[in-house]
Structure 1
Amino acid sequence: MSSGKGLLLKADPIAATFHSEVQNSLGANKAQVGRAPKLVGILSTSSKPSRTYAEFTRRQCESLEFEFVLKETGAALNRDGEGGPELGEGEGVEEAIMEANTDDSVDGIMVYFPIFGPQQVWTRDSEPRYHLQILGIGSLSAANCLPYKDVEGLHAKFHYNLYHNIRFISPSSLSAPASTGASAGLTGDEAENDTPPLGMVKSILPCTPLAIVKCLEYAGVYNKILPYGDRAYGKIVVVVNRSEVVGRPLAALLANDGARVFSVDIDSIYEYSKRPSASVESDSSVSSTRKYHPRHIVRPHPKGFDTLKACLAVADVVVSAVPNPMYKITTGWLKDGCICVNVAAEKNFEKDVRDKASLYIPAVGKVTILMLLRNLLRLHQYNSVSPPTPMTLAAEVSASQIAQ
């Protein structure tokens, strides 16, 4: 800090804290079932960052002695004359998911996004803008991947839990037939700490948003003195990108932990928060024993926060995940001493970001991989406690086929 610049914090020391956890859990898992969990990665896009991530997944799995198989379909084969121009983005991905669903040797399934490719528009006027269109980005996994093999946490059961702040679930709920009813579980407000009560397990969360939360915990954004479920209380966070894979679930996770989150996308700004509305806050008749909602509420931005610049001026933390090399957050708009986290393969912050930021995390990929493997180990453990029955498997596969 003597140089007058903020600290550059790479993902390596953060990942190291989870590396040993994953190794120890893997050892216990092998001793119990006699083999390492098997992960199938499905690549059906021509996106170079997606292929890089797939190869990085392979290396990490091999180094930790997980079994990993990369299944390439569609546009992923359109290189070196292998596939031909007729193979499109996303072609064959549903079939690959269904095949892995019915393969008893497969313990986890992941799909590399974006499948249909981003379409971006950049204008450098009064405010940087971007346009991200990824059709059905989470639907292929959510509709087709069985919940007890979904290491990405994109299944409807996991999404329901995330957005309703349900932290702990019964392992049998993962192998129960799909239903439209509420998920039986324990919310963050009801839990005393992050240790699951007897007979319950942690719900599966999306890997990248979870990795970002772990980075922020490491950076001291979370106050461990505060009650579990409110440890981000008092922090204002800006999340740029509201994708179903990163931006939206991240905003919900942070808000459910007590933060006030401004979710910024191309045409809108929303506030995610457990805080009561302004009218409720000013009502003296409201009981002081329940000031916060049990889960986050999404509202249009409040007055005075209708631009990214206005939101950044008050943000303690800024997370950006815009897949466009031309998109840059203006350093001058940042609050002095804020924490900035870049999630995109392209750098979303200007080179002088540390002139304003007290801490800059340029990438989270190494932590994301470990969150994915941790999810894989947890699912494998949950299934050993409450294995799916043939009838359950048939019901889930039938439901996913109907969803198509």
Structure 2
Amino acid sequence: MTEVIDGNAVAAEIRSDLQDSIDALADAGVRPGLATVLMSDDPASETYVSMKQRDCDEVGIEGIHVEIDPDAPAEELFDTVEDLNADPEVHGILVQMPVPDHVDDRRVIRAIDPEKDVDAFHPENVGRIVAGDPRYRPCTPHGVQKLLDAAGVETEGKDVTIVGRSNIVGKPLANLLVQKAEDGNATVTVCHSRTENLAEKTRRADVVVAACGVPEMIDGSMLSEGATVIDVGVNRVDADTEKGYELVGDVDFESAKEVAEAITPVPGGVGPMTRAMLLYNTVAAAGHQEGVDVDLP
């Protein structure tokens, strides 16, 4: 019977396990602080930030939220980031993407102090990941690794095919999985929009990670019997529901479930893990910056 990997349950366990680290920081007089910056009126972005702030409140992390008018000059955002970089009570900074067109998103990433870059997108942090010495691991890729571990899926010596080469998921996950590490040592193939014969690549994989942003692109015919499937995609498609839409992944869940040994659902799979790992990185950042040893789960 196919195992449906419960991301909500794994994320809840991580949040619970983080409490010991947060208590250790509290004993040293430190409360981790996460600043979120929103320069958008996009409802989805507003919802994401609200959820992240709620997560902080639930585990005892100080949430600092800054909203900037989307029509404001770009320098207002960069001045805000500079102020947060200098604030000793802020250990992690997250600028919610996307930012308005008149703001250079790459400059935003570079503006954040690498030690407070809990998304791990700053070039310095990306370089450390490639070198096998990560300061922080990007939240979604790290969440994928935690889900694989929770499902008892070892990556050592296994063939992993990642469909998608984004800077947020595909490329950093590939870099993490090839490292000489307990949760790495995989042979990784990264596929993308120019890949030919995609199904051949996915069918020979022990683990398939779908992160391409195309609704239900991967179906059961593209998988080998007994594969593990991690679906990172969250796509809104029209549906006869009260909201007029439903959320689906990059994997056709029903057909894939007939073939896979383990699979993540959408929603309730990778999404909760991304948020949990943001808390994880914030606690790690607080310990690092304050010189307090914390035992992270």
Q: State the shift of 1:204 in Å.
A: 1.3
CA distance in 2, matches of 1:37, 1:244: 27
CA distance in 2, matches of 1:372, 1:208: 9
Q: State the shift of 1:328 in Å.
A: 2.2
Give unpaired runs (5+ residues) of structure 1: 76-85, 118-134, 168-202, 223-231, 269-305, 387-404
Distance 1:247 1:139, change over 3 A: farther
1:3-402 pair list within 5 angstroms = 6-33=2-29, 35-75=30-70, 86=71, 92-115=76-99, 139-141=107-109, 143-167=110-134, 203-222=135-154, 232-256=155-179, 257-268=184-195, 306-324=196-214, 326=215, 328-346=217-235, 347-352=249-254, 353-362=256-265, 363-385=269-291
1:97-134 CA distance string (max 9 Å, x none)? 222112233221012234469xxxxxxxxxxxxxxxxx
Counterpart residue type for residue 350 of structure 1:
D
Q: Which stretches of structure 1, 4 residues or more, deviate above 6 A after TM superposition?
A: none
1:20-53 CA distance string (max 9 Å, x none)? 32111111101102x4211111123454443332
1:304-360 CA distance string (max 9 Å, x none)? xx4211111111111122334x45213211111111112122211114120111111
CA distance in 2, matches of 1:151, 1:254: 20
Counting matched residue pairs gives 270
Give unpaired runs (5+ residues) of structure 2: 236-248, 293-297
CA distance in 1, matches of 2:46, 2:192: 26
Counterpart residue type for residue 307 of structure 1:
N
Distance 1:136 1:246, change over 3 A: farther
SS of structure 1 residue aligned to 2:28: helix
Over the aligned positions, Cα root-mean-square deviation in angstroms equals 2.4
Counting aligned pairs with the same residue, the percent is: 27
Distance 1:48 1:258, change over 3 A: farther
Counterpart residue type for residue 271 of structure 2:
G
CA distance in 1, matches of 2:77, 2:169: 20
Normalising to structure 2: TM-score of the pair?
0.82
CA distance in 2, matches of 1:87, 1:238: 42
CA distance in 2, matches of 1:309, 1:91: 46
Contact 2:34 2:90 in 1 (8 A): yes
Contact 2:164 2:192 in 1 (8 A): yes
SS of structure 1 residue aligned to 2:25: helix
Q: State the shift of 1:385 in Å.
A: 2.3
CA distance in 2, matches of 1:51, 1:342: 24
CA distance in 2, matches of 1:314, 1:28: 45
Indicate the structure with greater helix content: 2
